[in-house]
Copies of this chain bind each other. A is one copy, B any other.
Amino acid sequence: MQSEFEFIKRIRDQATKRRATADTKEDLVFGVGDDAAILREREGRETLLTVDMLVEEIDFKIEYAPPRLLGHKALAVSLSDIAAMGGAPAFSLLTLGVPKRFQISNPESQIFFEEFFAGYFALAEKHSVTLIGGDVSSTPDRLAIDSIVIGHCLTGQAVRRGGAKAGDAIYLTGAVGASAAGLKLLLDGARLNENEDSPAQSALRAHLKPEPPVAFGRRIAERGLAHSMIDVSDGLAQDLLRICEESGTAAIIDFDSVPLAPQVNEVGLISKELEAAFEFAVQGGEDFELLLTAGGSDEVELLEIAADFGVRLARIGQIIPVDQIKSRIMLSRGGQVKPLSIHGFDHFQI
List residues of A whose CB falls within 8 A of some B CB.
1-2, 5, 29-30, 33-59, 80-82, 84-85, 87, 93, 95-97, 132-142, 144, 146, 148, 150-152, 155, 158, 160-162, 229-231, 234, 246, 344-346
* Cβ B344 vs Cβ A2 within 8 A: yes
Which B residues are in CB contact (< 8 Å) with A56?
Answer: 140
**Majority SS of interface residues in chain A?**
strand
In the complex, what residue of chain B is closest to A235 when comparing beta carbons?
Answer: B1
Determine how many copies of this chain the complex contains.
Answer: 2
Which B residues are in CB contact (< 8 Å) with A158?
Answer: 29-30, 36, 38
* Cβ B160 vs Cβ A51 within 8 A: no
* Cβ B58 vs Cβ A133 within 8 A: no
The distance in angstroms between the C-alpha atoms of A142 and B231, with both chains bound, is 29
The distance in angstroms between the C-alpha atoms of A252 and B225, with both chains bound, is 62
Determine how close the nearest CB of chain B comes to the CB of A256; give it in whole angstroms.
Answer: 28
Determine how close the nearest CB of chain B comes to the CB of A173; give it in whole angstroms.
Answer: 14
* Cβ B33 vs Cβ A50 within 8 A: no
* Cβ B146 vs Cβ A36 within 8 A: no
The distance in angstroms between the C-alpha atoms of A246 and B5, with both chains bound, is 14
In the complex, what residue of chain B is closest to A230 when comparing beta carbons?
Answer: B35
* Cβ B95 vs Cβ A132 within 8 A: no
Say whether, besides A1-B234, A49-B150, A140-B141, A34 and B346 are in contact (CB < 8 Å).
no
* Cβ B39 vs Cβ A49 within 8 A: yes
User: Can you list 13 pairs linking A and B with CB atoms under 8 Å apart?
Assistant: A1-B234, A2-B344, A5-B344, A34-B246, A35-B50, A35-B81, A35-B82, A36-B50, A36-B82, A41-B45, A41-B46, A53-B135, A58-B138
